[in-house]
Amino acid sequence: MARFIFITGGVVSSLGKGLASAALGALLQARGYTVRLRKLDPYLNVDPGTMSPFEHGEVFVTDDGAETDLDLGHYERFTGVAARATDSISSGRVYSTVLEKERRGDYLGKTIQVIPHVTNEIKDFIRIGEDEVDFMLCEIGGTVGDIEGLPFFEAIRQFSQDKPRGQCIFMHLTLLPWIAASGELKTKPTQHSVKELRSIGIAPDVLVCRSERPIPQKEREKLALFCNVRPDSVIAAMDLKSIYEAPLAYHREGLDQAVLDAFQISPAPKPDLQVWEDVADRIHNPEGEVRVAIVGKYTQLEDAYKSIAEALTHGGMANRVKVRVDWVDAELFEREDAAPHLEGFHAILVPGGFGERGTEGKIKAAEFARTHKIPYLGICLGMQMAVIEAARNVAGLSNAGSQEFDHEAGKDRFEPVIFHLKEWIKDNQKIARDVLDDKGGTMRLGAYNATLTDGSKVADVYGRTAIEERHRHRYEVDIKYRDKLEKEGLCFSGMSPDGRLPEIVEWSDHPWFIGVQFHPELKSKPFAPHPLFADFVRAAVDTSRLV
């Protein structure tokens, strides 16, 4: 049966709780344990699927088709454990399940209350798959004291009482502000945060303190005394140059040891940190630099493309180069020529996105990459825009467009090379969707197989012809246009196994121009860079050598 580690936060948000959880997961793995990480989010959205990327950053999609919090991406990148739908829950999901049960009469006429009905629902969620791993790490979103978070804190408190002693521990992340005037790290906010936690019945076993500077012994002892933890369990988390240093940095600070001590696991198995040493070496000692432009819509908020930025870093690590990313607003090219903005980049990436805004600019970026022979990776919408560009500018379909845009007015005016898919096959079953379905949950979501054409560039990149990648989209390239486009050199080199849905396109006479309908970035890891990103960066390195 799993041991449970509950990770909470206090003082301020954005302290890197997700990263600390992910790094701890990696360290436990390095000691030979199996782990699973979970996120419990207090917000009322049922899932982040319908939230704007500006609100919540990227939506991370799991193999089994759940739209989840971007922290699950960190978990996967650090542990390599594929996240599942059952690794992410929100208050919205909890309440909607409780209310459904109430309507069905499952509670036999009882009064439905936060305690025990909502807390029971949360506890049932935490328990899912508890026999499968050695450690289950559950991160609670937000900070202690948030009104929305209370049922979650209450649930984990109860949970630790339901379990035998010693099976659950609590790790609390706080901030030690540095006051320059007095030259001191202040412990008071942490003391208050722990007090708040203890007032709801949770005593932390491990304190992780974000601070700009090392914590002097005196402050460490003070924190231990006032927060009722052992001095060895006060762990400093200092700013790092790269998130991928976190496992080694936390290990040096004694985080994994403190956690194992809290569980009274002795002697603790020795860690093997070679993978992370290699990762850190590749990050710190690049042998060159390439410049990549990401032409997108949500460029003000980098978290909107979190996994893409990380996958590019991994691609850089595979080639031992630093990847310098510039975020370019696609809308710029709707007013101005793309060339001055894109010259000088060694590769161009057009990411996924929704809605019409910025799409004409993305089409211009695809055209620039095609005609200037710059490596281009189009992801989801970035692939669709590359296909529209090819149809308009090469195949002579000047009205080519997507049914996603200007749906009404354009119906009979344009050639819908990108069409709204309403029926498809998953696991031998037909799935049908109506255009008028709710916004949430109407997409082709999660892992689907694709078959690659023997001898194509992608087959070469992957080193095989059967792949499985994660999807999140409503629209598809219409196979009706395949012959016309292939005749011009845009090969449909990856198809769904039934041959109906184009998954990958590539220009045969271009050094590196690939569009994929799926999201390869979601499966890339620092210790196992995704082949498409590794080869895309390799192609960028080649371009950089030409100039």
Closest CA to 533 of 373, 331, 411, 375: 375
Question: Could you tell me the sign of the dihedral formed by the alpha carbons of 359, 360, 366, 369, in that order?
Answer: negative
In the complex with ligand GLN, which residue's Cβ is closer, 130 or 302? 302
Helix (H, G, I), strand (E, B) or coil at 416: strand
Contact, 337 vs 89, CB < 8 A? no
Q: CB of 354: closest distance to ligand GLN in angstroms?
A: 4
In the complex with ligand GLN, which residue's Cβ is closer, 210 or 474? 474
Q: What is the rounded CA–CA span in Å between residue 8 and residue 6?
A: 7
Reply yes or no on whether 196 is catalytic: no
Q: CB of 48: closest distance to ligand GLN in angstroms?
A: 14
Q: One of 168, 209, 227, 380 is an active-site residue; which one?
A: 380
Q: CB of 140: closest distance to ligand GLN in angstroms?
A: 29
Q: CB of 430: closest distance to ligand GLN in angstroms?
A: 19
Reply yes or no on whether 380 is catalytic: yes
Kind and range of the H or E run holding 74: helix 71-79
In the complex with ligand GLN, which residue's Cβ is closer, 33 or 475? 475
Q: CB of 418: closest distance to ligand GLN in angstroms?
A: 7
Contact, 90 vs 121, CB < 8 A? no
Which residues fall within 8 angstroms of residue 132, CB to CB, at 6 or more apart? Answer: 2, 34, 36
Which residues fall within 8 angstroms of residue 515, CB to CB, at 6 or more apart? Answer: 376, 377, 378, 379, 382, 383, 384, 386, 387, 504, 505, 506
Q: Which two tokens stand for residue 476?
A: 């598809």
Q: How many residues does the chain have?
A: 547
In the complex with ligand GLN, which residue's Cβ is closer, 10 or 351? 351
Enumerate binding residues for ligand GLN (CB under 6 A).
Answer: 352-354, 380-381, 404, 472-475
In the complex with ligand GLN, which residue's Cβ is closer, 406 or 509? 406
Reply yes or no on whether 471 is catalytic: no
Residue with nearest beta carbon to ligand GLN: 352
Query: Could you tell me whether strands 35-41 and 168-176 are parallel, antiparallel, or unpaired per DSSP bridges?
Result: unpaired
Q: CB of 389: closest distance to ligand GLN in angstroms?
A: 15
In the complex with ligand GLN, which residue's Cβ is closer, 305 or 368? 305
Which residues fall within 8 angstroms of residue 98, CB to CB, at 6 or more apart? Answer: 112, 117, 118, 121
Show which residues are catalytic: 380, 519, 521
